[in-house]
Amino acid sequence: MMETITQPWPWYTAGIIIGLIVPALLILGNKHFGISANLRHACAACLPSNIPFFKYDWKKESWNFFFVGGILVGGIISTIYLGSGDAVIVHPDLAKELASYGITDFSGMVPVQLFSFETLFTTRGLVMMIGGGFLV
């Protein structure tokens, strides 16, 4: 069992799991699933109540906070106990294509050429941060 859990899973596994959880929560518990909704609940809990958008009973949605906490704890536990520490293995064809874009360092979880403080204040980094912010 542990060997199955520690092996890489296909990328589509997350889609299947989310595709089963979202309708189940909605049908069985009439609960809307979404991590971004927690930002609204956090603002409603922390900000003054004179903003009309945040005037609702956020306490009945507090199960979302436990869900996000569970994701955080699960991520920490899986990193400590199930992580191998090996470098990410990238297919040679993909590595060749990424090298044409200037991305060559695959030693960490994400490419250093895209995600580092040195690249944050470059044109490419600012476009990625601002563009990604609009996409979110």
Answer whether 121's CB lies under 8 Å from 130's CB.
no
The pLDDT tens digits for 85-111 are 777 788 999 999 999 988 888 887 788
The pLDDT tens digits for 37-81 are 888 888 888 887 788 888 888 888 888 888 889 989 998 998 888
Place of tokens 């979302």: 64
Q: Is this model's pTM higher than 0.75 or not?
A: no
Q: Which residues fall within 8 angstroms of residue 40, CB to CB, at 6 or more apart?
A: 53, 54, 58
End-to-end C-alpha distance for the chain, whole angstroms: 36
- Please state the domain extents for the chain: 2-82, 92-135
pLDDT value of position 73: 96
Pick the more confident residue, 122 or 4.
Answer: 122
